[in-house]
Chain A
């Protein structure tokens, strides 16, 4: 029983090669003997042989084209082979536009990269910034209608601070309800 199983397994593994004539003489004889003696091996042989025959008959029929289809394809191939055939990749009329967009993109990219080229502490601006005045209120007096502030303003450019009097209208006190 075990021997039969082993023989059948051997037959299955080598049947295609047997049918294609790719086995050594020794293996070929072995398979032939098994086919003659063992019905299971014989069935296997018949199945594989018929399958092979069917494939040889049917696969060449797959997708057989009509002459009209082939002629149409030849026209397309000829058009592609023409030396001055328009190229598919870039249409010539699009080239100036593409170049323009390319330059614009490059300029934007460079502008965006500009801050990266300047070190954070190395930058000094050509125009000095307007100095910020330092204003200090010295005194403030008020009467019913006005408030007077005496303020002292000093800028780095001025040697002595300047004193000025600012008068503003007093905000009326809200009525008490």
Chain B
């Protein structure tokens, strides 16, 4: 069955009701619905498996223990979960060292090479990927959050504003700034390669 946002919303609402009535299986179903996206969010912001696991565990435990507090009229369950996870991610990267991980290891852009692709084209593609990844790594946490929520999770600007706890205009400008910064960070060579890569 293809999950549209409305079916997901209805399914989530039903699961929350069942969970609140004490049904253990409903918690497991809720988890399986949102675990992957929450994990991806944590990992994209922290770029570290251990931290991402810790934050995700804490976030789900908090969310399940405070499920009664969730108000469907105020926000979607996904947005609520993201808000919880994001605030914990912020705590982690506030008290930790700056990101040291190479995004090249993080972005597993294992795009299957077309059969017609020449070795030179593969090298070009790899170089362009690295350039994009390195540029992304230089974004500030705020801009990275905005980009990850927008492009990694497809949130609307209103939802991004909700999760990041800022006005919608700020969320829009953060995405715009991140976009501009990424464009500026890419060297002309990388841009050339990038365009070459996208022309395949």
Contact = CB atoms under 8 A, between A and B. Distances in A.
The reply to whether chain A is a binding partner of chain B is yes
Interface string B14-58: 000000000000011001100110011011100100001100110
Interface residues of B, number: 44
A60 B57 contact: no
Given A16-B176, A69-B53, A77-B57, A50 B195 contact: yes
A63 B43 CA distance: 5
Contacts of B129: 58
Nearest to A80: B61
B10 interface: no
A50 B57 contact: no
A76 B148 CA distance: 26
Given A16-B176, A22-B172, A70-B39, A60 B183 contact: no
A52 interface: yes
B160 to A, nearest CB: 12
B107 A80 contact: no
A55 B31 CA distance: 27
Contact of B56 (A53, A62, A73, A81): A73
Interface residues on A, range: 20 to 34
A132 to B, nearest CB: 65
B28 A65 contact: no
Contacts, number: 100
B116 to A, nearest CB: 20
B56 to A, nearest CB: 6
Contact of B148 (A48, A54, A59, A73): A59
Contacts of B167: none
B183 A55 contact: no
Contacts of B176: 16-17
Given A54-B132, A81-B61, A62 B39 contact: no
Contacts of A81: 27, 61, 64-65
Contact of B179 (A52, A59, A74): A52
A65 B64 contact: no
Nearest to B177: A16
B175 A16 contact: yes
A51 B195 contact: no
Nearest to A77: B60
Interface of A: 12, 16-17, 22, 46-48, 50-56, 58-65, 69-70, 73-74, 76-77, 80-81
Given A65-B40, A74-B32, 17 more contacts: A17-B172, A50-B198, A51-B179, A51-B183, A51-B194, A52-B179, A54-B198, A59-B152, A63-B40, A63-B42, A63-B44, A65-B39, A65-B43, A73-B57, A77-B57, A80-B57, A80-B61
Would you list the 8 A-B pairs with minimal beta carbon distance, nearest first? A63-B43, A59-B152, A59-B151, A55-B151, A62-B44, A16-B176, A65-B39, A80-B61
12 contacts: A17-B172, A51-B183, A51-B186, A52-B151, A58-B109, A60-B153, A62-B107, A65-B43, A73-B39, A74-B28, A74-B32, A76-B57
